[in-house]
Amino acid sequence: MGSHFLFHEATGGGAPRETEERMAEVAAQKHHGEVEEDVAVKEPLDLIRLSLDETVYVKLKGDREIKGRLHAYDQHLNMVLGEAEETVNYYEIDDETYEENLKSEKRFKPFLFVRGDVVILISPSLRQ
């Protein structure tokens, strides 16, 4: 049976250089308190904005789910996730008993691009 995974790694060894540089700059500003974050959720996408650079859980069409660090998103819910673990759930039918058996496959990718039209829900990680 072929691979059940839909998504491809970002090519070129990760995020484009200017994206990596910008992410590092913002992280440094946050660390030094130079970036003031608005923590109010006034619109639905504000919840996602507050989850930038945090671990999120994303449920997708086709019994797929991804847990990873949210690096970028847009209004269509296209996302770039880093340190991503994708889980694919599917059923196999036993040839002898004809029972459906739930199977799961997992894989880890340093960066994934997720197309927004397959996203069902996004959940921010619990802050501890």
pLDDT at 46: 87
Place of tokens 């209004």: 75
Instruction: Please give the class, per CATH, of domain 17-124.
Output: mainly beta
Is the pLDDT at 15 greater than 60? The verdict is no
- pLDDT exceeds 70 at position 123: yes
Residues 84 and 61: their CA atoms lie apart, in Å, by: 17
Backbone dihedral region of 83: left (phi > 0), alpha (psi from -120 to 50 degrees) or beta? Answer: left
**Residue 88 scores a pLDDT above 50:** yes
Beta bridge partners of 108: 85
Q: How many whole angstroms separate alpha carbon 67 and alpha carbon 60?
A: 11
Q: Comparing 28 with 116, which gets the higher pLDDT?
A: 116
pTM over 0.95: no
The C-alpha atoms of residue 6 and residue 88 are separated, in whole angstroms, by: 9
Give the pLDDT band (50/70/90) at residue 43: confident
User: Residue 27 — pLDDT band, cuts 50, 70, 90?
Assistant: low
Least confident of 38-47, 57-66, 100-109: 38-47
- Sorting pLDDT into bands at 50, 70 and 90, what band is 41? confident
Identify the band that residue 10 occupies on the pLDDT scale cut at 50, 70 and 90: very low
Average pLDDT of every residue of the chain = 80
Q: Residues near 43 by Cβ (< 8 Å), separated by ≥ 6?
A: none
